[in-house]
Amino acid sequence: MAVSSGLEASVKRYPLQELLELRRRDEESAATAWAAARRRVDLAEAEAGRMASRAAEVRARLQRAEQAADSATPAPRMTGAELAGRAHYLTRLRDAATRAAADRDAFRVGALATARAEERRAAEAFAGKRGAREASELHEAQFRAEERRSEERREEEARDDAAGAARHARLHRP
């Protein structure tokens, strides 16, 4: 059986210590969740950037092909199949540019927007958990301050009692 020192015996246990520890763990969990959500946003933004670059690249290729087709006059020897092939190539590039732009836009309003919304919710949850932890720590600090004031009052009363007893003893000596 361990014997507690006078210092340990004089320090009163904070009655809501378990709640404070729970709030600290909740805040840590919320911070971890927020960091994970932030990583997902970063990944989604990187993917959105790649998709935007891809859409711009396909659009630029289409514009170059259209300019080349417009500037080239059909040679008298160009066959119908060659003309149809050029038209088919331009159609494929237009379709690819349209798909790339649609994929980019769908990703922005879908996955990227979802990741950002989740990150906002995680940040709000973290802020709430941090506020709860701070409130508990403030309450603990107030509890500790009140305990110190009570201990100081007890010590002062004990000194007053000792001084009063000494005075009484001096006055009532035989």
Tens of pLDDT, residue by residue over 111-127, are 999 999 999 999 999 99
Q: Against a cut of 0.75, is the pTM above it?
A: no
CATH number at residue 143: 1.10.287.1700
Q: Is residue 3 part of a domain?
A: no
Question: Residue 96: what residue type?
Answer: A
- In which domain, by residue range, is 129 found? 16-171
Residue 157 has pLDDT above 50, yes or no: yes
Question: Residue 171: what residue type?
Answer: L
Q: Which residue has the higher pLDDT, 86 or 6?
A: 86
Cβ atoms of 65 and 95 within 8 Å: the answer is no
- Measured CA to CA in angstroms, residue 35 lies from 38, 43, 109, 145 at distances of 5, 12, 22, 35
Q: For the chain, what is the domain count?
A: 1
Q: Is residue 5 part of a domain?
A: no
